[in-house]
Chain A
């Protein structure tokens, strides 16, 4: 049995759509920042051996995730991605909670990436004896610049995403080549072992569990393609292909960088403590150079560019379905981009960044924002997997143009792994404040939604038409 496609053509599909290569670039650009930094504290938790195991487990988790997303995105090729899957599987409240998770993930990721970019640009300016530009001015420049690239037109955005993805991969490649000559296998195992461990697993098997959230950094945000289904020329082909190609690219890069950086000078012990592992390794080879500050900046820029896109698509989709004011889902006629949604995202991110200026000095605010983004991301994964399982259980006979090779088993495994990952992330002491922050956002958003929006939900958006059509046909698809 099939469910009729919505008769209303999604508004976002007016101008030229994109193919597999552009979607791959979007996905790689969104995640590649995690290979530049963020993963390395995992080495301190588990050593090289444990981090390698954690990375392989994370690759498996993300394989389950991209296959599940590919199936759902081909079934529901709408801009809301996870929000639409959760709405169809769990109703309006399911969609709403998934939307809050996605918004937490992308707005806080934007804020934290902007923080990293500001730090790196300030360092470069100081090195070059340049002017001291206040952070709010730099934020405004970043948001105006990348906001313009995002909203000018689709073609410009995707070409920029492709260029950034290729540049970041080139930087990773050059870094690996540059530091390989100093590679020594003994340096891989330089993390001191405790009583329960050995040189390969210095903190025993438990260390691997704590390294898994760090290994997930390598691939965090790979799912942004699910928000680009309306921009895809042939979503049934390009979405699965781009997701798998992106995962393959990131997995290869992650394994190479993990191995080469851990084994090359200054060794795994120093890399585990570094704020910016790539620059730390390159400094050993080339000495201190202002140019090296560009390395972390490039990773953050690529992520920032892709994440603005995802956040604006989520806001656009929520507005089109009535969860947010309908004015935000306006599309610029000659651009095919959700201009007001994009501008509103930039304004919110700027406001959050300004609020961080008032944070107490003892609060590591950028770290907390990064962790909030990661928790939001993991919550969206839980919604993806749970929606997949629910839709398979409720509509086993529904015709699916693309099916995940791993089926329900992969989704259940992914659900368990993500839940464990989230738990470990929270248990890890410094993430508790991030969890409380996320809960606060959920609480406020739920109260606001309950007061203002239930009466404004619309039935004529493509995703809502699909969800209702599926419900109406449910009796013939359940047996």
Chain B
């Protein structure tokens, strides 16, 4: 029965709830505007609660304030339920944004949530919302729609099998996170490079010669990924150096360690290391290994270190080794 003023105890309580929710929703709106968009989560939930309260109180709310706006109480009720469900969907979307995209990804792991994943989740939330409105508010059976969607999905899946495969591989990479944008990686036996982008189809890598390599997500997902940027103690580099074997190995080792430490280019922890490898053809060969923090500068650092080693050996009067090969010509005659 439509009337304009609450006339039962329950309706009086409904009135109190509607008044409080109207005031808080209005305040939330002012707060969101003042904070330039912050607080949308609360706004969505407030709006959902207010629309639900108006729907529940339709017997007197419609007669009181909405009779001239909506053609019937049923129409008013449908609109309120639709607003409530869509606002709930918006609230859930904001909830996921706050706790997952900005919470789990940004605040906890300091990484940006992959746009592809965000897009898929948001579309899913709103599709569920729209289907729920169709089913529960307007009484439209969504079985046919779901069947049609399923058939459409099969057709699309078959015709775009490769593309969908790339997309799901992209989601798998986004979730497992073997690398981030800006990392230096080597994927399988492909050339190493810096990850500059990931789309729903490919991973883009810029190699040392500044060319961009597009690798499809499926290849990335199937190959081993060696990440040079996520080492806790830098990346270990090795060089081989040969000097004349007239000197004691320990002297050469001490000179090389000192040169590496003084260079300021290598990490102190773990520190550089020099190993006496072998003697051959009149030479003593040493293995020099050291750690660097930034793999992107590996080549430049190696160049500088070689120059420092060269200068240090020269200052200490240690000659680079020249292979001595004795040729004996045997005159058979």
Chain B residues with Cβ below 8 Å from A178 are: none
Is the Cβ of A417 less than 8 Å from the Cβ of B23?
A: yes
Q: Could you tell me if B16 and A53 are in contact, using CB atoms closer than 8 angstroms?
A: yes
Inter-subunit contact B35/A408 (CB<8 Å): yes
User: Which residues of A sit under 8 angstroms from B20, Cβ to Cβ?
Assistant: 56-57, 60
Check if A409 sits within 8 Å of B42, measured CB to CB: yes
A204 within 8 A of B: yes
Specify which chain A residues have a CB less than 8 angstroms from the CB of B28 in the assembled complex.
409
Quote the shortest CB–CB distance from B65 to chain A (angstroms). Answer: 10
Judge if B238 is at the interface, Cβ distance under 8 Å.
Answer: no
Number of A-B contacts (CB under 8 A): 66
Rounded to whole Å, the gap between the CB of B20 and the closest CB of chain A is 5
Interface centre among B27, B35, B42 (most CB of A within 10 A): B27
Contact A416-B34, Cβ < 8 Å, known A57-B20, A200-B6: no
Report the separation of the CA atoms of residues A417 and B23 in the bound assembly, to the nearest whole angstrom.
8
Residues of B within 8 A of A213 (CB): none
A77 at the interface (CB under 8 A from B): no
| Interface pair B27/A410, CB less than 8 Å apart | yes
Closest Cβ of chain A: how far from B5's Cβ, in Å? Answer: 5
Q: Judging by beta carbons under 8 Å apart, are A198 and B27 in contact?
A: no
Give the distance to chain A from B216, nearest Cβ to Cβ, in Å. Answer: 43
- The segment from B7-15, B117-125, B148-156, B241-249 found at the interface with A is B7-15
User: At the interface, yes or no: B2 with Cβ under 8 Å from chain A?
Assistant: no
Q: What residues of chain A lie closer than 8 Å to B64, measured between beta carbons? A: 205
Contact among A196, A200, A416 for B26, CB-based, below 8 A: A416
Quick one: which of B7, B16, B30, B31 contacts A52, CB cutoff 8 A?
A: B16
Which one of A198, A407, A408, A409 lies within 8 Å of B5 (CB-CB)? A198
**CB of A195 to closest CB in B, whole Å:** 11
* Contact call B31/A409, Cβ cutoff below 8 A: yes
With a cutoff of 8 Å between Cβ atoms, the chain B residues found around residue A245 in the complex are none
Given the interface pairs A416-B26, A416-B27, the reply to whether A56 lies near B7 with Cβ below 8 Å is: no
**Does B39 count as interface, using CB distance less than 8 angstroms?**
yes
Measured between alpha carbons, how far is A357 from B128 in the docked complex, in Å? 73
CB distance from B1 to the nearest CB of A (A): 13
Q: Is the beta-carbon distance between A413 and B24 smaller than 8 angstroms? A: yes
**Chain A CB within 8 A of B142 CB:** no
Decide: B7 and A408 in contact? CB cutoff 8 A.
no
Q: A409-B39, A409-B42, A413-B27 are in contact. Are A57 and B7 (CB under 8 A)?
A: no
Do A201 and B5 touch across chains, with their CB atoms under 8 A apart? yes
B160 at the interface (CB under 8 A from A): no
Nearest-neighbour CB distance to chain A for B179, whole angstroms, equals 32
Number of interface residues, chain A, beta carbon within 8 A: 24
Residues of A within 8 A of B11 (CB): 200
B311 at the interface (CB under 8 A from A): no
* Given known A197-B5, A205-B5, A393-B34, contact A409–B12 (CB-CB < 8 A): no
Q: With A393-B34, A409-B42 in contact, is A53–B27 under 8 Å at CB? A: no
Tell me the smallest distance from the CB of B62 to a CB of chain A, in Å. 15
Number of B interface residues, CB 8 Å?
A: 24
Nearest B residue to A51 by beta-carbon distance? B12
Bound state CA distance, A416 and B64, in angstroms? Answer: 23
Chain B interface SS verdict (over half): helix
Kindly identify which residue among A57, A412, A416 contacts B16, using a CB–CB cutoff of 8 Å: A57
Nearest Cβ on chain A to B18's Cβ, whole angstroms: 10
User: Nearest chain B CB to A456's CB is how many angstroms away?
Assistant: 37
| Complex Cα spacing A393 to B7, Å | 43
Nearest CB in chain B: distance from A389 CB, A: 8
Q: Name the distance in Å between A53's Cβ and chain B's nearest Cβ.
A: 4
Q: CB of A437 within 8 A of chain B? A: no
Residue A10 is within 8 A (CB to CB) of chain B in the complex: no
Cross-chain contact B8 with A200 (CB below 8 angstroms): yes
Pick the residue among A196, A198, A408 that contacts B31 (CB under 8 A): A408
In the complex where A52-B12, A57-B20 touch, is A412 in contact with B30 (Cβ < 8 A)?
yes
Q: Could you give, for residues 389-415 of chain A, a 1 whenever the CB lies within 8 Å of some chain B CB and a 0 otherwise?
A: 000010000000000000111101100
**Is A153 in contact with chain B by the CB < 8 A criterion?**
no
Asked if A6 is at the interface (CB within 8 A of a chain B CB), the reply is no
Q: Which residue of B lies closest to A188 (CB)?
A: B9
Check A204–B5 contact: CB distance below 8 A.
yes
> Quick one: which of A26-77 are within 8 Å of B by CB?
49, 52-53, 56-57, 60
**A175 to B20 CA separation, bound complex (whole angstroms):** 31
Interface pair A409/B7, CB less than 8 Å apart: no
Query: Is the beta-carbon distance between A416 and B12 smaller than 8 angstroms?
Result: no
**Binary B-proximity of A191-234 (CB < 8 A = 1, otherwise 0):** 00000111111001100100000000000000000000000000
Across-interface contacts of A197 in B (CB, < 8 A): 5
**8 Å CB contacts to A: which residues of B30-46?**
30-31, 34-35, 39, 42
The answer to the question of B130 belonging to the interface, with a C-beta cut-off of 8 Å to chain A, is no
**Contact (Cβ within 8 A) A409 B27:** yes
Instruction: Provide the A170-199 mask, 1 if CB < 8 A to any CB of B, else 0.
Output: 000000000000000000000000001111
Closest to A212 in B: B19
Q: How far is the CA of A155 from the CA of B20 in the complex (A)?
A: 40
Task: Tell me which of A200, A208, A413 contacts B7 (CB under 8 A).
Answer: A200
| Contact A49 B6, CB 8 Å, known A56-B16, A200-B12, A409-B39 | yes
Residue contact B19 to A412, C-beta cutoff 8 Å: no
- Chain B residues with Cβ below 8 Å from A408 are 31, 34-35, 39
Whether A49 lies near B12 (C-beta < 8 A) is yes
- B11: nearest chain-A partner, CB-CB: A200
Q: How far is the CA of A25 from the CA of B31 in the complex (A)?
A: 34
Chain A residues near B24 (CB-CB < 8 A): 409-410, 413
Q: Residues of B contacting A204 with CB < 8 Å?
A: 5
With both beta carbons as reference points, the residue of chain B lying nearest to A406 in the complex is identified as: B24
Task: Return the chain A residue nearest B28 by Cβ.
Answer: A409
Report the Cα distance A412→B33, complex, angstroms. 12
Report the bound CA distance from A205 to B19 in whole Å: 11
Taking CB atoms, residues of chain A closer than 8 Å to B19 are 53, 57, 208
**Measured between C-beta atoms, what is the minimum distance from B24 to chain A in Å?**
5
5 closest residue pairs by CB, A with B: A413-B27, A412-B27, A56-B16, A49-B12, A53-B16
A-B contacts, 15 of them at CB < 8 A, read A52-B13, A53-B12, A53-B16, A56-B20, A196-B5, A198-B7, A199-B7, A200-B6, A200-B11, A201-B7, A205-B5, A407-B31, A412-B30, A413-B27, A416-B26
- Known interface pairs A56-B20, A196-B5, A201-B5; 9 further A-B residue pairs with C-beta atoms within 8 A, sorted by A's residue number: A57-B23, A60-B23, A200-B5, A200-B12, A408-B39, A409-B39, A413-B23, A413-B27, A417-B23
Residues of A within 8 A of B (CB): 49, 52-53, 56-57, 60, 196-201, 204-205, 208, 393, 407-410, 412-413, 416-417
